[in-house]
Chains A and B, each alone.
Chain A
């Protein structure tokens, strides 16, 4: 007789390869029962791989066309002034140069064209003969740019964006007044290679020759003109050599005050926006994957339920619990890989589809390609999510008793899996979170998002349990249908957890996004428009300021006027540390260091500001330059009173000491500045003025336009920005983004529907059983439909209530705590969410049950 030695050599035989062999044998049965599992994973992976690949394709597109987008290998930008002779000489030494001036101006119809809306804000661009150094300006008429901009019969030619022609009802050949000059529209711009370099646009493009600029009188001391010097290097150097030249340009001419960019970083603003948007959509994709994860867990639980006998047989033949776990883990991985592969194929195709669909819409050609890193990310997220949701139910397989073969044991116990599986689940979830946060640009936001999603997940699990508990404890109802519905809600294998969890997560996200979007737009259109002035007038020369103010006072006697001196400057260093090298204390106000800022000086504390720290300087202050800093920006940057801020204004570096900190109410859109200097700082510097005009009450559009016309005609070099137009511009942008976000987040709802369909399919057999038994006992189809509809409606409504609460809470947090806005719950959004939940649950539920109702009792009873 051979005694058994516990833990002997046989331990090593039940290896992973053997488990894999068993797993593959088991999978011969096909994928039946796993389609929802595979679809859930494929959907989430496709979303993540697609979003990241599109973002990469855009980034590559920007990088590939870096020279054209930037307008050269290098671009130097100055504000208010042109390059000094020595600076120009330095640039000319580098290579071929093209000079471009950009500014905002008013394009007006000739005075005899007497109709409303006869002027428009334009983004004016004056180009030299060398422009563009890279790429080409395509004109709709097909002529060359030189030809189109040339002077004919004493009038300079100009080319315009089609939007300008539409706005002013112009045709090619018409003339428009520009400042004190006139230009003739000779052609329409079809494409402009360096359009992206311009940043936010408030009006359509109007391009003229730089020789036409002096005739407009638009360029005055202190005018908001940006002078761009683009350099083509011969030969074009590699990126490292390019960086070296950039460094040299910064260090060799520290006082030049120019902002230097290379083709490697042609459009950092756009790049940042793409990155942030992509990160957000990746998180949304991850949410879809998590919602789908519920479907994964359901599918595995249902599958393992059917495998109890096989598992018990394996155990009777000597298989250990760990070996059983490995067999089904391998099967799960194989299935997940099938889903991931499908998702990756779709995700890889998305950039190509997007490139085709967005051709001509985007300002940059997407470099559609297959990007392995982005696809790898989709694979990692897909596999980790599948594991995170599968390990728990798989862990339970470990403890299926072999005695299950001998006696019926009530299945689906709520016993927790062993600690090792709980730990593995926790580690996988943590890994998912770490990857998501590590890859995010704004780690804090990503962290908050994940914490909120995890919180919602746990809450939904609890909500499902509470619903089932309450349903179980409810007193018996008189209505048979209601009684049946309530029984279906709490019985073992009920749809409740699946519906509440998957639909709840998707709906919560959708409600939160809809409320954030709605509140943002409400702030923009209602709140801001109420408080904001009607007009901003820019580039008012000092000598014409009083007359201009008098004109406004005469034309709009009831309006409030505010006037401040205005210069543009760039922060070059903080406490001696160059702004490029400065590391802010926390996220949020990095924008202050990027690009140039409007700055002003004032003897007294400006309106809309509240002093929070330090003291304002005396009106006749004459000491070292002082500056008042926006308190929030100062906190974000880690600045305090006494710190030194150096700004480059008009080519001079000016260092001022922070004297106080102010709270600024940015939402008012009144005149606000991050930095307000003591008046002595800019004594004698040439500058223009900024003026706002606002009415206490709403005035008709007609009155606004009439004032605009008078002002534009009397002061043609003053640029008027109508706030309504600017807001509608921003509103359009927000609306477009909101649609993109909503589109992406609806993927989570699709995932919810998949999970719902899966849960319904899993419960199909028991539903048929119920229906047949009830029909045998005399229930009509109508009664069964009512019972099922009631069940689905109760689940859908409860889920909607939770989604409204959780989504509302999330939106409130984002709006009030992160965006510092005011929050209003919107009843239409709430009703919309409830409707979606009801349509999805009742609709899909009844579609799923419809066939069941048609089952004839006899054949089913025979087979039960």
Chain B
């Protein structure tokens, strides 16, 4: 049975900067990512992989071409519509965690639910934190948590809205190997269990190899797409 398409990019171009500093970053990207699959974006620094991730998350607008994510064409959406779209459909995990320093772990995880108007925000956030093993750290502030714990909070925050798309930018970049491995396992387990589409950017070939598909980006173009024998791939 053919899987439905979670992310579809068609001839996407993107240029950033002004005047002499203008850089043509994405040069005609065509890409389809099926729902429930995992994709690793790899490539050298400056190749455009993070920008590609941002376009998929609705954080950056393509100059030309079309971007359809979770069945919604992002082109015509206003800034605020894009924000609400992200809140409902996209969970994002960052390399530097980006938790709100003056909010507790529980509050940080509840934020996207509160923004979406979910009345059970705190109950769901609590459950999500328990699921990532932080049920005992609910009222701790980010500064009181280790790097690994902070990233687990970030994962819980990304998953709590049950997003169709999970985006991760170098999710283990700031963590030691064993903690990084725990986070990766957690991410893939969640993706498998919930049927989420996972797209991540990494420099780590081992992490990329865990994805069902690896896309190599170079100079703003897709150089090659490699199907891997990923054990985590969800069978539809």
The chain A residue with its CB closest to the CB of B86 is A318
Does A320 make an interface contact (CB < 8 A)? yes
User: Known contacts A2-B70, A3-B70, A14-B115: does B88 contact A318 (CB below 8 Å)?
Assistant: yes
B 57-94 binary contact with A (CB < 8 Å = 1; else 0): 10110000000001110001111110111111100101
Of the residues A10, A18, A21, A22, contact of B84 by C-beta under 8 Å: A10
Interface residues on B, range: 35 or more
**Residues of B with C-beta under 8 A to A26:** 100, 102-103
B209 in contact (CB, < 8 A): no
In this complex, what residue of B is CB-closest to A11? B84
Inter-chain CA distance A191–B103, complex, in Å, is 65
B233 at the A/B interface (Cβ < 8 Å)? no
Assuming the A-B contacts A317-B111, A318-B88, are A4 and B98 also in contact, with contact meaning beta carbons closer than 8 angstroms in the complex? no
Q: Which of A109-117, A401-409, A572-580 contacts B (4 or more CB under 8 A)?
A: A401-409
Cβ of B221 within 8 Å of any chain A Cβ, yes or no, is no
Cβ of A851 within 8 Å of any chain B Cβ, yes or no, is no
Q: Which of B76, B84, B92 has a CB less than 8 Å from the CB of A320?
A: B84
In the assembled complex, which residues on chain A have CB atoms less than 8 Å from the CB atom of B114?
13, 18, 21-22
Quick one: given A10-B116, A13-B115, are A1 and B35 in contact (CB under 8 Å)?
Answer: yes
B87-A3 in contact (CB<8A):
no
Q: Annotate A291-322 by CB proximity to B: 1 below 8 A, 0 otherwise.
A: 00000000000000000011011111111111
B4: interface (CB < 8 Å)? yes
- Cα A26 to Cα B142 with chains together (Å): 13
Q: Given A320-B80, A403-B60, do A29 and B102 touch, yes or no (CB 8 Å)?
A: yes
Q: Which residues of B contact A402 (CB under 8 A)?
A: 59, 83, 86
User: Which bracket fits the contact residues of A?
Assistant: 35 or more
Is B117's beta carbon under 8 Å from chain A? yes
Q: Is A12 an interface residue (CB 8 A)?
A: yes
In Å, the complex CA distance between A310 and B97 comes to 11
CB distance from B101 to the nearest CB of A (A): 7
Indicate if the CB atoms of B80 and A317 lie closer than 8 Å: no
How many whole Å from B117's CB to the nearest CB in chain A? 3
How many Å from the CB of B196 to the closest CB on chain A?
Answer: 12
Select from chain B the residue with minimum beta-carbon distance to A21.
B114
Q: Which residues of the other chain, A, contact B128 by a CB distance below 8 angstroms? A: none
Q: Are A310 and B100 in contact, CB atoms less than 8 angstroms apart?
A: yes
Tell me, in angstroms, the Cα distance from A507 to B121 when the chains sit together.
54
* Highest count of chain B CB atoms <10 Å: which of A4, A315, A320: A4
* Residue of A3, A315, A318, A406 contacting most chain B CB atoms (<10 Å): A318
**A9 nearest in chain B by CB position:** B117
Q: Are B70 and A315 in contact (CB under 8 A)?
A: no
Report how far A22 CA is from B77 CA in the complex, Å: 26
A residues less than 8 Å from B166 (CB atoms): none
Please indicate the chain B residues that have their CB under 8 angstroms from the CB of A29 in the complex: 101-102
CB within 8 Å for A1 and B6 given contacts A12-B117, A26-B100: yes
Please report the C-alpha to C-alpha distance between residue A316 and residue B90 in the assembled complex, in whole angstroms.
Answer: 9
Binary contact readout B35-61 vs A (1 if CB under 8 angstroms, 0 otherwise)? 100000000000000100110010110
Q: Does A550 lie at the interface of the complex (its beta carbon under 8 Å from any beta carbon of B)?
A: no
**Are the CB atoms of A318 and B115 closer together than 8 Å?**
yes
| Chain A CB within 8 A of B112 CB | yes
Shortest CB distance B59–A (Å): 5
Instruction: Report how far A6 CA is from B74 CA in the complex, Å.
Output: 10
CB contact between B87 and one of A9, A12, A25, A318 (< 8 Å): that residue = A318
For residue B169, which residues in chain A have a CB less than 8 angstroms away from its CB?
A: 406
Q: Are A322 and B60 in contact (CB under 8 A)?
A: no
Task: Give the CA-CA distance A312 to B98 in the complex, in Å.
Answer: 9
Of B100, B107, B164, most buried by chain A (CB within 10 Å of CB) is B100
Contact B77 A6 (CB under 8 A): yes
Q: Is the CB of B89 within 8 A of A4?
A: yes
Nearest-CB residue, chain A, relative to B77: A6
B80 touches A2 (CB 8 A): no
Are A320 and B102 touching (Cβ within 8 A)?
A: no
Bound CA–CA A321/B59 (angstroms):
13
Q: Which B residues are in CB contact (< 8 Å) with A22? A: 111, 114
Q: Report the minimal beta-carbon distance from A783 to chain B, rounded to whole angstroms.
A: 35
Within the complex, what minimum Cβ distance (angstroms) separates B201 from chain A?
9
Query: Are A317 and B115 in touch, CB under 8 angstroms?
Result: yes
Measured CB to CB, the nearest residue on chain B to A311 is B100
Q: Is the CB of B107 within 8 A of A310?
A: no
Q: Is the CB of A318 within 8 A of B59?
A: no
Contact B84 A406 (CB under 8 A): no
Question: Which chain B positions have C-beta within 8 A of A2?
Answer: 70-71, 89, 164
Chain A residues with Cβ under 8 A from B92's Cβ? 316-317
The smallest C-beta distance from B173 to any residue of chain A, in angstroms, reads: 12
Q: Is the pair A10, B102 in contact by a Cβ cutoff of 8 Å?
A: no
- Complex formed: what's the CA distance from A407 to B49 in Å? 12
Residue of A nearest to B103 (CB): A25
Most buried by B among A2, A322, A402: A402
A405 touches B98 (CB 8 A): yes
Q: Which residues 164-201 in B have Cβ within 8 Å of A in the complex? A: 164, 169
Query: In the complex the two chains form, is A310's CB within 8 Å of B60's CB?
Result: no
B157: Cβ under 8 A from any A Cβ: yes
> Within the assembled complex, what's the spacing in Å between the Cα atoms of A4 and B96?
29
A27 touches B (CB below 8 Å): yes
Closest A residue to B98 by beta carbon equals: A313
Within A1-43, which residues are at the interface with B (CB < 8 Å)?
1-4, 6-14, 18, 21-22, 25-29
Report how far A323 CA is from B84 CA in the complex, Å.
11
Question: Given the complex of chains A and B, what is the CA–CA distance between A6 and B114 in angstroms?
Answer: 18
Closest to A28 in B: B102
Given A2-B70, A4-B72, A10-B116, answer yes or no on A313-B80 (Cβ-Cβ < 8 Å): no
A-B contact pairs, 12 of them (CB 8 A): A4-B70, A6-B81, A10-B88, A13-B115, A14-B117, A312-B98, A318-B84, A318-B116, A321-B79, A323-B115, A405-B98, A406-B53
Question: Which positions in B face A, CB cutoff 8 Å?
Answer: 4, 6, 35, 50, 53-54, 57, 59-60, 70-72, 76-81, 83-89, 92, 94, 96, 98-103, 107, 111-112, 114-117, 157, 164, 169
If A4-B71, A25-B100, A313-B99 are given as contacts, then 12 extra A-B residue pairs at C-beta distance below 8 Å, sorted by A number, are A1-B35, A2-B71, A2-B164, A6-B76, A18-B114, A26-B100, A316-B92, A317-B92, A318-B83, A321-B83, A403-B54, A405-B98
Which 3 interchain pairs have the tightest Cβ spacing? A318-B87, A13-B117, A320-B80
